[in-house]
């Protein structure tokens, strides 16, 4: 059966300082061969949407493994150094609900986390929520807050991304989210059709 198409809607704005010059494009090396993270991060459940903290010592991810509060939950695991193995994942119970909670991302200073949730109290079928912490090394997050019914709509907002360029004094910022086709028509953003894929079995 063909899965429904969703759209990746990109909203961006650029504020340029007078006299600023274009920056050279950063060039990166080739990707290494994929390597499975393995246990205890990966399980027989769906363990997906992983991302690292800046120091690469904390991994946040989504999982429907046993021990969670809902259908999909936010989890994290830590390691002492880049050479050490990952520890046993812990459920982010202060943020999770009995609904779907997934696709977390950190702000550039790592004090704010945005994530998708279908919990009650939102504006539509699924919303973007946020939570704060005072110290980027802290594991204590504040109560989740809905971003409101300007960012969120009666449709589904999912996969938040916060992007900040390294250009100075110019700044480039954008917000992106997977939304429905009607969202893109309303916002008149740059929309690219994207086939929704089923989550993988591991990270």
* pLDDT in the model for residue 3: 41
* pLDDT in the model for residue 66: 96
Cβ atoms of residues 113 and 141 within 8 Å: yes
- Residue positions counted in the chain: 203
Stated as kind and residue range, the H or E segment containing 76 is strand 73-78
Cβ atoms of residues 62 and 71 within 8 Å: no
Residue 76, pLDDT > 80, answer: yes
**Tokens 């119970």, located at residue:** 93
Q: Is 187 helix (H, G, I), strand (E, B) or coil?
A: helix
Give tens-digit pLDDT for 174-202: 344 544 433 333 333 433 333 334 445 57
Cβ atoms of residues 128 and 157 within 8 Å: yes
Residue 104, pLDDT > 90, answer: yes
- Rounded to two decimals, the pTM is 0.70
Give tens-digit pLDDT for 115-137: 999 999 999 999 999 999 999 88
């Amino acid at each position: 059966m063909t899965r429904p198409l969703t759209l990746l809607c990109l909203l961006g704005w650029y504020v340029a300082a007078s006299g600023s010059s274009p920056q050279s494009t950063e060039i990166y090396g080739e990707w290494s061969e994929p390597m499975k993270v393995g246990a205890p991060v990966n399980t027989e459940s769906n363990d997906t949407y992983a991302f690292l903290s800046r120091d690469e010592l904390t991994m946040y991810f989504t999982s429907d493994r046993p021990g969670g509060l809902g259908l999909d939950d936010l989890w994290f695991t830590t390691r002492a150094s880049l050479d050490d193995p990952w520890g046993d994942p812990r459920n982010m119970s202060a943020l999770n609900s009995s609904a779907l909670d997934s696709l977390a991302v950190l702000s550039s200073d790592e004090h704010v986390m945005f994530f998708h949730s279908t919990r009650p109290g939102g504006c539509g079928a699924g919303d973007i929520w946020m939570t704060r912490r005072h110290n980027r090394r802290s594991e204590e997050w504040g109560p989740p807050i809905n971003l409101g019914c300007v960012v969120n709509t009666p449709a589904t907002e999912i996969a938040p991304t916060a992007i900040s360029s390294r250009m100075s004094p110019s700044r480039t910022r954008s917000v992106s989210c997977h939304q429905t086709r009607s969202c893109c028509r309303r916002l008149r953003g740059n929309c690219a059709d994207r086939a929704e894929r089923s989550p993988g079995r591991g990270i």
